[in-house]
Amino acid sequence: MSLIEELKSTGDQSFDTWFDRWFEKNDFPNTFKKSAQQGYTGYYIELRRTTSLHENDEYLNRRLRDPRTVTKLKDRLPGISVEFVKERKTGLMGLKYTTEKLKFSWK
């Protein structure tokens, strides 16, 4: 196995381990049920966007931005629409900023 293949394999294994732990910790089926009971047809996880993030927040944001996250969520949550949304907004005083979130919907 070449070094490149080994690095890719290590990265994939690390991602899979992280995803499984993160998915179990967040208990999405129960979270979605609670949201539905409150009349919502969706749920979202907003990525933190402060300038100096704690190391754990930077790591989580990097993992949530990874396209494999959306793919794995779609596999684990059949029937739930999952997408990564990046929006450019204008705030007070005309300042522009960007928001990023994972959006789940079950309409």
Question: Bigger pLDDT: 51 or 64?
Answer: 64
Structure token pair of residue 61: 């944001």
What is residue 95's predicted lDDT score, i.e. its pLDDT?
87
What is residue 8's predicted lDDT score, i.e. its pLDDT?
93
In angstroms, rounded to a whole number, what is the distance separating the alpha carbons of residues 6 and 41? Answer: 42
Q: Report, as an integer, the average pLDDT of 67-77.
A: 97
Q: Find residue 44's DSSP bridge partners.
A: 103
Q: Which residues contact 76 (CB under 8 A, 6 or more apart)?
A: 23, 28
pLDDT digits (tens, 9 = 90+) for 6-62: 999 999 999 999 999 999 999 999 999 999 999 999 999 998 776 566 777 888 999
SS3 74: helix
In angstroms, rounded to a whole number, what is the distance separating the alpha carbons of residues 84 and 105? Answer: 12
What is residue 51's predicted lDDT score, i.e. its pLDDT?
58
